[in-house]
Amino acid sequence: MNKHQLICLGAGLVLIGLGVFRLWRRSEQKKRCSARVDGRVLDVYSSAKGSDSEAKTSLFAKYEYWAQDKRIEKKVSLTDKQFKALKAGQKLTVFYDPAKPKRCYVAQIKSSQLLALMLIGLGLVSALAGFTILA
């Protein structure tokens, strides 16, 4: 194996590892966040970064829920579809971790697993390239 093959293989394994880690972390979050409470959307807003010609707009929702007699306020990033669907005052279903009440996820806001799958896919391509293309 030459140096280029080792670099492709190493990069591929790192990308696969990152993708698997993201999937595992999401799975663990769902296991830990077992307490269910009602929450409420406080605000849905966008925020632009950068110059006017190259501004990148990010979409967010600020929400609150009560866990163990404490009010917790959090912010989450949204997709365009989620941004259009959520309204201030809307009720949400929040699942939180009883051991760490600030750790939670919102049932109505599904996080995409696309990034994890893309990392795994790119990792496989890179690792295979190390064995085949550069051989």
Question: Is it the case that residue 54 has pLDDT exceeding 80?
Answer: no
User: Tell me, what amino acid is at 54?
Assistant: E
When the pLDDT of each residue in the chain is averaged and rounded to a whole number, the result is 88
Question: Is it the case that residue 15 has pLDDT exceeding 70?
Answer: yes
Question: Which pLDDT tens digit goes with each residue over 70-121?
Answer: 999 999 988 888 999 999 999 999 999 999 999 998 988 877 677 888 999 9
Helices (H), 33-74: none
Tokens standing for residue 19: 């993708």
CA 119 to chain centre: 13
Q: What are the backbone dihedrals phi and psi of residue 44, each rounded to the nearest 5 degrees, phi first?
A: -125, 120
